[in-house]
């Protein structure tokens, strides 16, 4: 189907089936699932995925058109991880049986997945994971903890990285499992955010959680490759490219350049030269990031770009959002970060309090610079002293004197 014909069909379907989002609240998790099921029934879910796994077998370009046309409509707000990160990773790494079981349910909103990667002692050093999976006959027994998981309380499955062999080097003794979050032995606790808004992040505890042998995603002890694939798609999602094209087009930055201009103009006094310079910085940063995003998206579509260009977009987002938050506070002063007791702070205050999120979540700016330098620019890797040392020995070396 050509793109122009597809666009006309999308417009007609949207106008007959979805509500305009203007004035409507953000959908709840239950509403997300209903909306996603409606999109799937219309034939617009999983557009670039194979038909045998519940997709349409079309192109990322078709998906981009759908979300362009759907931007004014009320769409699912909390399924980005499932649709933009987990689904393409499963397609790359999972067995046909796993794909047939889970992808159609993800596309319909029947299964909501989250990442279970970071741990209290393993964030940027993801390969240092201590959550363990021990084989017990025809099942796996999982023990450990994960942290900073988004929407864990309303999710169905977790993409869980666990250590399956402590005697292999740390990157080669990991495996990934499909973890049902309602399974016995799973405990989920909320993490309070600094701005007092939302209950978004959680920590999970696993105590003798039993999983079937076929819960394994990818090959045994090859979990590092699977996790890297997930991170690849996560960074593409942050930049809105690859299988995630269009998925983030409907999101609005917490503080836009227009918000900044409006906040300054409310004072009723002329802009100083410094304020004009700050607004120009915010505007130019936004333009550069948007152009970069378009260039990378076009490169993926045409095949002129390959590799982890999503890391460059992720780095750009982290730098842009952090700088914009700082500019907002300088322009608006104390009014940006104070509010009455019991009331919710405005977008500028939230932006400042959460300024580091995009610099850390999904891989820190420092990790993105490593990826850009090594995999896009071809710079040499930093030396690694424990690459061929068993993880058990690495832990022993790390232990303080007297505890080894």
Give pLDDT tens digits for 358-380: 777 777 888 889 989 998 999 99
Tens digit of pLDDT for each residue in 145-165? 999 898 999 999 999 999 999
**Domain-located, residue 198:** yes
Residues 48-62 have a mean pLDDT of: 95
DSSP string, 278-343: HHHHHHHHHHHHHHHHHHHHHHHHHTS--SSHHHHHHHHHHHHHHHHHHHHHHHHGGGGT---TTS
Task: Examine the domain organization and report whether 370 and 269 are in the same domain.
Answer: yes
pLDDT digits (tens, 9 = 90+) for 312-321: 888 898 888 8
Residues 260 and 366 in one domain: yes
- Please count the other Cβ atoms lying within 10 Å of the Cβ belonging to residue 67: 21
Same domain for 60 and 155:
no
In a domain, 246, yes or no: no
Question: Domain end: 185, 204, 224, which one?
Answer: 224
Q: For residue range 218-258, what is the model confidence (pLDDT) as tens digits?
A: 999 999 999 999 988 988 887 778 888 888 644 444 567 77
On whether both 156 and 269 belong to a single domain, the answer is no
Per-residue pLDDT tens digits for 24-37: 999 999 999 999 99
Closest of 293, 295, 336, 281 to residue 317, by C-alpha: 293
Q: Give the whole-angstrom CA distance, residue 216 versus residue 159.
A: 10
Q: Are 39 and 136 contained in the same domain?
A: no
Specify the CATH number for the domain of residue 126.
Answer: 2.40.110.10
What's the confidence (pLDDT) of residue 404? 46
Choose among 320, 319, 339, 323: nearest CA to 331.
323
How are beta strands 113-116 and 157-163 bridged, if at all?
parallel
CA distance 219 to 99: 15
Query: Is the separation of the CB atoms in 309 and 299 below 8 Å?
Result: yes
For 9-13, 167-171, 230-234, which range has the lowest pLDDT when averaged over its residues?
230-234
Task: For residue 246, give Cα distances in angstroms to 46, 77, 241, 295, 350.
Answer: 12, 13, 8, 14, 25
Same structural domain, 127 and 144: yes
Residue bearing the bigger pLDDT, 143 or 291? 143
In a domain, 390, yes or no: no
First to last CA, the chain: 64
Give the closest residue to 175 by CA, choosing from 142, 132, 220: 220
Q: Which of 176, 151, 179 is nearest to 164 (CA)?
A: 176
> Would the pLDDT of 339 be above 70?
no
Count up the domains in the chain and report the number. Answer: 3
The count of C-alpha atoms lying within 13 angstroms of the C-alpha of 238, restricted to the half-sphere facing its C-beta, is 31
Nearest to 32 by CA among 122, 111, 101: 111
The domain in which residue 134 lies consists of 114-224
- If you ran DSSP here, which 8-state letter would residue 116 be given? E
The token pair at 356 is 């580091």
Percent of the chain with pLDDT over 70: 91
pLDDT at 78: 92
Residue 308 binned pLDDT confidence (cut-offs 50, 70, 90): confident
122 and 190 fall within a common domain: yes
Q: Are 387 and 171 in contact (CB under 8 A)?
A: yes
**For residue 361, is it within any domain?**
yes
Is-contact 177 162, C-beta < 8 A? yes
Q: Within 10 A of 184 (CB to CB), how many other CB atoms are there?
A: 9
The DSSP secondary structure of 70-106, one letter per residue, reads HTTB---SS-HIIIIIIHHHHHHHS-HHHHHHHHHHH
């Amino acid at each position: 189907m050509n793109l122009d014909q597809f666009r006309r069909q999308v417009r007609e379907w949207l106008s007959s089936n979805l509500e305009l989002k203007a004035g409507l609240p953000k959908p709840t998790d239950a509403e997300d699932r209903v909306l996603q099921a409606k999109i799937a029934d219309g034939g617009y879910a999983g557009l670039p995925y194979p038909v045998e796994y519940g997709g349409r077998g079309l192109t990322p370009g078709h998906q981009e058109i759908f979300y362009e046309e759907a931007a004014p409509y009320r769409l699912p707000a909390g399924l980005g991880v499932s649709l933009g990160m987990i689904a393409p990773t499963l397609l790359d790494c999972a067995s046909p049986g796993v794909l047939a079981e889970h992808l159609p349910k993800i596309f319909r909103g029947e299964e909501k997945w989250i990442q279970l990667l970071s741990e209290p002692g393993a964030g940027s050093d993801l390969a240092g994971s201590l959550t363990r999976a021990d084989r017990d006959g025809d099942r796996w027994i999982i023990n450990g903890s994960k942290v900073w998981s988004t929407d864990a309380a309303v999710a169905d499955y977790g993409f869980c990285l666990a250590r399956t062999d402590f005697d292999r080097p740390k990157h080669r003794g990991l495996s990934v499992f499909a973890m049902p979050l309602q399974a016995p032995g799973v405990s989920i606790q909320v993490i309070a955010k600094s701005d007092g808004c939302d209950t978004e992040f959680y920590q999970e505890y696993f105590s003798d959680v039993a999983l079937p042998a076929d819960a394994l995603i990818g090959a045994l002890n090859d979990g590092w490759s699977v996790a890297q694939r997930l991170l690849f798609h996560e960074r593409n999602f942050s930049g809105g490219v690859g299988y995630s094209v269009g998925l983030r087009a409907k999101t609005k930055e917490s503080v836009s350049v227009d918000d900044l201009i409006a906040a300054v103009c409310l004072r009723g006094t002329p802009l100083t030269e410094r304020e004009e310079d700050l607004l120009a910085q915010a505007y130019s940063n936004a333009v550069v990031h948007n152009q970069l995003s378009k260039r990378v998206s076009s490169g993926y579509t045409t095949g002129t770009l390959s590799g982890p260009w999503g890391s460059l977009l992720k780095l750009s987002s982290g730098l842009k959002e952090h700088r914009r938050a700082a500019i907002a506070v300088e322009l608006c002063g104390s009014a940006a970060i104070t509010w009455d007791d019991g009331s919710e702070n405005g977008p500028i205050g939230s932006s400042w309090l959460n300024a580091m999120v995009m610099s850390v979540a999904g891989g820190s700016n420092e990790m993105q610079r490593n990826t850009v330098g090594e995999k896009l620019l071809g710079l040499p890797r930093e030396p690694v002293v424990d690459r061929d040392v068993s993880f058990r020995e690495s832990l022993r070396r790390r232990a303080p004197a007297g505890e080894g």
